[in-house]
Amino acid sequence: MATLGVYSKKHKVTVVGSGNWGSAIAKIVAENTKEHPDLFEEEVQMWVYEEETTVPKTSKHYDAGSKFSTQPHKLTKLINHFHDNVKYLPNITLPPNLIANPSLQESVHGSSILIFNLPHQFIGGLCDQMKGHILPYARGISCIKGVSVDREDVRLFSESIGDKLGIYCGALSGANIANEVAQEKFSETTIAYDPPPMDSRNPTPKATTPQGPTPSSSQLDLTAINEHKDSKGKTSKVKLIVPPSELPPIDHNIIKSLFHRPYFHVQVVSDVAGVSLGGALKNIVAIATGFVAGLGWGDNAKAAVMRVGLLEMVKFGKMFFSNNVQTKTFTEESAGVADLITSCSGGRNYRCAKMSVERKVSIQQVEREELNGQMLQGTSTAEDVFHFLKARGKESEFPLLVGTYRILHGEVRVEDLPYLMEGKKK
């Protein structure tokens, strides 16, 4: 483990986003920066979209005689006063070294590690605002689940962030319900981080062997390389800046030190595409599982859908990200099979699909009635994935993913799902 005996500077950390999951992750990170003073500056900045609110009556901080409970105050002031995100993660004590900041530019200033946790539709605009205000050698972790899919391509949110800011960005995903994590109930997650070659601090030394000098290729200084490969194995258009040698290298060990807690176990892998795809495709499988649950077909049927769904998730990854995706990411990691099980047991996509069958109404109607303006990810992902597959003539390769789309659009009945899963046409 790195110490200041070797490195003269520490990493400053910023969390971009402060919703339910953003605040839970910020809590974890702030606990760990305090616990590892040899690696990190203790204070963690958390960017908060500023709004005004009052302390709700359900809050442990509610006091009918207090101005905080009777008059609107800025959310950042409430968070920093009570050490509690009273609106988005209420009644969870946040570490005092976690500072809510309404200024995006100020919060990211001087930070060498940026953690992104916000709705995916805001990535582009916020990254534009951050340009010119971040360290050029910063590195990132995206906690934004899923991928961006259209007819032309599948894009990882982590790479969208990296391309916008000119940095490298990994991804975090897993069976992680924010409130349970914040309450310190045991869970696991997967972080995918594939350190760029120039981040290596151990280039092969120039040396000789009994047979003579080592080949010139073995004397390559990796820190001199500013190119790296993207998730499809192509050379990224981003030219990275090497972090200064005064900072500890951002590798799997330091990533684990920043996120691992006794109640939140972390596995660090290099498969960024697999981790990201798992967070997207499982939502389609969850809808299909909810459909059969709504019919009352029982646990056997749900298990069958999940089994086929997992196979199609692996197949999708191997087909379209063949250079990087590993099967074990889906079958062994929290970001794969564990997240799938959680989503197919009680996630919102599962619940809304189940209710739509039970009530004999569209899933869109259930969404409007039950989610208070929030949107299901599974329905939009199912449509995007279908059109992506159709553009390549691959619909027959993914009968469950395509069948779920067809049910959502009223082309076939839920009762037809077993036939569709076999690749039979209806």
The letter for the amino acid at 276 is: S
Residue with tokens 């009945």: 413
Task: Return the H-helix or E-strand segment holding 101.
Answer: strand 98-101
Residue 323 pLDDT greater than 90, yes or no: no
Q: For residue 1, what pLDDT is reported?
A: 45
The residue assigned the tokens 């914040």 is: 182
Q: Where are the alpha helices (DSSP H) in 205-298?
A: 252-259, 272-294
The 10s digit of each residue's pLDDT in 250-304 is 999 999 999 999 999 999 999 999 999 999 999 999 999 999 999 999 999 999 9
More confident residue, 153 or 221: 153
| pLDDT single digits (tens) 37-52 | 999 999 999 999 999 9
Strand, helix or coil at 141?
Answer: strand
DSSP-derived secondary structure for 334-346: IIIIIHHHHHHHH
Distance of CA 291 to the CA centre of its chain: 26
The span from the first CA to the last CA of the chain, in angstroms, equals 59
Query: Which residues does 282 contact at the CB level (< 8 Å), separation at least 6?
Result: 309, 313, 339, 340, 343, 344
Catalytic choice (282, 318, 354, 360): 282
Q: Burial, 256: exposed, middle or buried (Cβ in 10 Å; 0-12, 13-18, 19+)?
A: middle
pLDDT greater than 80 at residue 75: yes
* Average pLDDT over the chain, rounded to an integer: 92
Look at residue 226 in the predicted model and tell me its pLDDT. 64
pLDDT of residue 425: 73
Reported as a single tens digit per residue, the pLDDT across 234-265 is 888 888 999 999 999 999 999 999 999 999 99
Using CB atoms within 10 Å of the CB of residue 315, give its burial: 0 to 12 exposed, 13 to 18 middle, 19+ buried.
middle
Distance between CA atoms of 67 and 89, rounded to whole angstroms?
Answer: 21
Q: Which tokens hold the place of 102?
A: 């309404």
Write the CA distances from 182 to 116, 241, 263, 293, integer angstroms: 17, 35, 10, 29
pTM higher than 0.85: yes
Instruction: Band the pLDDT of 200: cuts 50, 70, 90.
Output: confident
CB 249 within 8 A of CB 242: no
d(CA 398, CA 421): 8
Q: Tell me the two tokens of residue 149.
A: 């899919």
| Range 366-376 burial, b when 16+ CB lie within 10 A, else e | bbeeeeeeeeb
pLDDT at 236: 85
Average pLDDT over residues 344-364: 95
Asked if 387 and 153 touch (Cβ cutoff 8 Å), the reply is no
Q: What is the pLDDT of residues 145-197, one digit of tens each?
A: 989 998 899 999 999 999 999 999 999 999 999 999 999 999 999 999 999 98
State which H helix or E strand residue 389 sits in: helix 377-391
* Interstrand relation of 52-53 and 40-47 (parallel, antiparallel or unpaired): unpaired
pLDDT of residue 216: 47
pLDDT of 202 higher than 80: no
Active site residue 239: no
